[in-house]
Amino acid sequence: MAHPPETSAPRSYAALGDSFTEGLNDPGRNGRYAGWADRLAGLLAAQHPDGDFRYANLAVRGRLLDQIVAEQIPQVREIRPDLVTFCAGGNDILRPGSDPDEVAERFEAGVLQLREHTGTVLVATGFDTRGVPVLGLLRGKIATYNGHLRAIADRNGCAVADLWSLRAVHDRRAWSDDRLHLSPEGHQRVALLAARALGLTVDEDPDAPWPARPAPTPADVRRENLQWARSHLLPWVGRRLRGESSGDHMAAKRPDLLPL
Q: Which domains does the chain have, with CATH numbers?
A: 12-211 (3.40.50.1110), 214-244 (no CATH)
Average pLDDT value for residue range 65-79: 97
Q: Is the distance from CB of 40 to CB of 191 less than 8 angstroms?
A: yes
Does residue 1 surpass a pLDDT of 50? no
Q: pLDDT digits over 166-182, tens only? A: 999 999 999 998 888 99
Confidence band for 244, pLDDT divided at 50, 70 and 90: low
- pLDDT value, residue 44: 97
Among 4-13, 31-40, 94-103, the range scoring the smallest mean pLDDT is: 4-13
- Predicted confidence (pLDDT) per residue in 19-41, tens digit: 999 999 999 988 889 999 999 99
- The pLDDT of 189-206, averaged and rounded, is 96
Angle CA(38)–CA(40)–CA(44) in degrees, nearest 5? 115
Summarize the confidence of residues 192-201 as an average pLDDT: 96
